[in-house]
């Protein structure tokens, strides 16, 4: 699970950088959704 959390953190940082640059990183948003879905299997949350 630590690896998954690290991936989420890295993706968040990449999203923030892209947004600061004026980009809309749709692929990264999709990846974030996938990672959060994977996390939800391990730790139920809403």
46 pLDDT band, cuts 50/70/90, is low
Percent of the chain topping pLDDT 70: 96
Cβ–Cβ under 8 Å, residues 11 and 31 = yes
SS (HEC) of 8-39: HHHHHHHHHHHHHCCCCCHHHHHHHHHHHHHH
* Residue 7 confidence (pLDDT): 98
pLDDT for 24 beyond 80:
yes
**26-40 mean pLDDT:** 96
What domain range includes position 9? 2-42
44 pLDDT band, cuts 50/70/90, is confident
Distance between CA 9 and CA 39 in Å, rounded? 12
Predicted model pTM: 0.86
Number of independent structural domains in the chain: 1
């Amino acid at each position: 699970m630590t690896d998954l959390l690290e991936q989420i953190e890295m993706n968040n940082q990449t999203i923030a950088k892209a947004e600061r640059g004026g980009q809309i990183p749709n692929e990264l948003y999709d990846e974030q959704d996938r990672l959060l879905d994977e996390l939800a299997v391990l730790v139920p949350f809403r």
